[in-house]
């Protein structure tokens, strides 16, 4: 009997197409805490109203760290060692937060100039080759990877090999993936070598120097390499993913295009609204209840998995009236949950925004005739991945 009941649970995630809000989101309004079946086959509570999503993110009884506990119900199989799930907690615990926060500050000397120059050079390359071009592989990915190589102080030529790991590391699969472990070991070995490479600069050189400091005697090379590998991963997948999906909005929504190019706000003023409507997060932000907690009308039991559906919170009409309308002057646009909330709120929001602003400004300024060069139905959407992504984004200008 139980089997029949559980088989009837809706499967989550709902839809990988990033051009529209999944139809299920509307139906969830009547049931903002809903039982679903995850990719890993577990049961979870899917939370979809703005208020309750925020409550989960801000209540420490919903733990990110504990989602990797042995035997806990899973959204999908882990692709990284379990202790790395609490990445920023580990960074803080090791006394490395200050160094990391300094590295991800967009006001770092020369960084904005570098971003502009890099975006400009990528547009030059697209123009030199001639239309059509492909904006993910030839623009968003190399721009984001280049930024993170610069920040870590490693050679930009090594960006593509580190990027390839991310196609596997951020897969949402029911079972462990062999390639994920192989990529992880190879990337940790690569980053460990950088610690002793005299050509290394940036954050990795700063971390390497701490090994001489007796106050940091607890640090191992593996811990330091893990910081480099995880910041590259979390940073590139999120910045390239958001930028690619912002480009999808610009290319498929005349209202967004008009607001960015002719509106009084410009790209920078529209950034929070762009983040609000962005469908880049393909899964739910996972938390494990560490105690019984009442959530809306539901009693969540200790040990149960809770998934925060960011796109539903960002399109909750109670918080954002006419949620499908793109309104850069929306007073509370910045209340979106696209950077999460509570104790795991993204530490790199300023860098994430500045990165996308400069890329969009450069592209729209240099290529005013930019348009999708294939029918929108031909875009191929990646499946079973942490981010929604078109595999290719062919454009003309």
Least gap, CB of 217 to ligand HEM (angstroms): 24
In the complex with ligand HEM, the residue whose CB is nearer, 192 or 239, is 239
CB–CB of 327/276 below 8 Å? Answer: no
Tokens of 296: 């809306």
Which of 283, 296, 289 is closest to 52 using CA atoms? 296
Least gap, CB of 128 to ligand HEM (angstroms): 28
Which of 186, 203, 204, 187 is closest to 195 using CA atoms? 204
Buried b (16+ CB within 10 A) or exposed e, 74-93: bbbebbbeeebbbbbebbee
3-state SS assignment for residue 5 = helix
Least gap, CB of 131 to ligand HEM (angstroms): 27
Least gap, CB of 86 to ligand HEM (angstroms): 7
Least gap, CB of 64 to ligand HEM (angstroms): 5
In the complex with ligand HEM, the residue whose CB is nearer, 309 or 395, is 309
In the complex with ligand HEM, the residue whose CB is nearer, 364 or 374, is 364
Tokens of 148: 């993170």
Which of 275, 349, 353 is closest to 310 using CA atoms? 275
In the complex with ligand HEM, the residue whose CB is nearer, 132 or 266, is 266
Say which residues have a Cβ less than 8 Å from residue 299's Cβ, sequence separation at least 6: 292, 293
Phi-psi region of 291 (alpha: psi -120 to 50; beta: other; left: phi over 0): beta
3-state SS assignment for residue 60 = coil
Tokens of 272: 């929070």
CA atoms of 139 and 146, how far apart (whole Å): 11
Say which residues have a Cβ less than 8 Å from residue 83's Cβ, sequence separation at least 6: 68, 90
CA atoms of 219 and 241, how far apart (whole Å): 32
In the complex with ligand HEM, the residue whose CB is nearer, 118 or 344, is 344
In the complex with ligand HEM, the residue whose CB is nearer, 287 or 330, is 287
Bridge-based pairing state of the strands 293-295 and 371-372? unpaired
Least gap, CB of 77 to ligand HEM (angstroms): 17
CA atoms of 96 and 233, how far apart (whole Å): 18
**Burial class of residue 23 in the structure, from the number of CB atoms within 10 Å of its CB (0-12 exposed, 13-18 middle, 19+ buried):** exposed
Least gap, CB of 382 to ligand HEM (angstroms): 17
In the complex with ligand HEM, the residue whose CB is nearer, 131 or 268, is 268
In the complex with ligand HEM, the residue whose CB is nearer, 274 or 373, is 274
Least gap, CB of 269 to ligand HEM (angstroms): 16
Least gap, CB of 143 to ligand HEM (angstroms): 12
In the complex with ligand HEM, the residue whose CB is nearer, 125 or 140, is 140
The footprint of ligand HEM (CB under 6 A) covers 64, 87-88, 104, 231, 234-235, 238-239, 242, 285, 338-340, 344, 346-348, 351-352
């Amino acid at each position: 009997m139980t089997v029949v009941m559980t088989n009837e649970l809706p499967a989550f995630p709902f839809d990988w197409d990033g051009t529209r809000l999944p139809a299920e989101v509307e139906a969830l309004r009547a049931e903002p805490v809903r039982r679903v079946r995850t990719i890993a086959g577990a049961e979870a509570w899917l939370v979809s109203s703005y208020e309750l999503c925020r409550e989960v993110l801000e209540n420490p009884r919903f733990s990110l760290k504990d989602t990797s506990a042995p035997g806990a119900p899973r959204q999908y199989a882990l692709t990284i060692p379990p202790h790395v799930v609490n990445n920023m907690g580990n960074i803080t615990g090791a006394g490395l937060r200050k160094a990391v926060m300094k590295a991800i500050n967009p006001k770092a000397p020369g960084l904005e100039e570098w971003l502009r120059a890099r975006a400009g050079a990528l547009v030059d390359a697209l123009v030199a080759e001639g239309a059509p071009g492909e904006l993910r592989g030839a623009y968003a990915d190399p721009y984001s990877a280049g930024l993170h190589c610069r920040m870590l102080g490693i050679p930009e030529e090594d960006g593509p090999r580190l990027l390839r790991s991310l196609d596997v590391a951020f897969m949402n699969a029911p079972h462990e993936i062999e390639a994920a472990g192989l990529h992880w070991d190879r990337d940790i070995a690569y980053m460990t070598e950088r610690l002793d490479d005299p050509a290394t600069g940036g954050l990795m050189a700063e971390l390497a120097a701490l090994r001489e400091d007796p106050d940091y005697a607890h640090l191992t090379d593996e811990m330091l390499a893990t910081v480099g590998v995880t910041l590259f991963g979390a940073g590139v997948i999120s910045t390239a993913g958001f930028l690619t999906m912002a480009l999808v909005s610009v290319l498929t929504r005349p209202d967004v295009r008009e607001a960015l190019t002719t509106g009084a706000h410009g790209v920078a003023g529209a950034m929070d609204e762009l983040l609000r409507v962005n469908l880049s997060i393909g899964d739910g932000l996972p938390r494990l209840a560490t105690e019984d907690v009442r959530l809306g009308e539901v009693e969540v039991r200790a040990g149960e998995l809770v998934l925060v559906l960011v796109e539903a919170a960002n399109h909750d009409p109670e918080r954002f009236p006419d949620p499908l309308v793109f309104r850069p002057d929306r007073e509370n646009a910045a209340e979106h949950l696209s950077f999460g909330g509570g104790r795991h709120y993204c530490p790199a929001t300023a860098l994430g925004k500045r990165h996308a602003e400069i890329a969009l400004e450069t592209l729209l300024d240099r290529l005013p005739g930019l348009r999708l060069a294939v029918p929108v139905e031909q875009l191929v959407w990646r499946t079973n991945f942490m981010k929604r992504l078109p595999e290719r984004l062919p454009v003309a200008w």
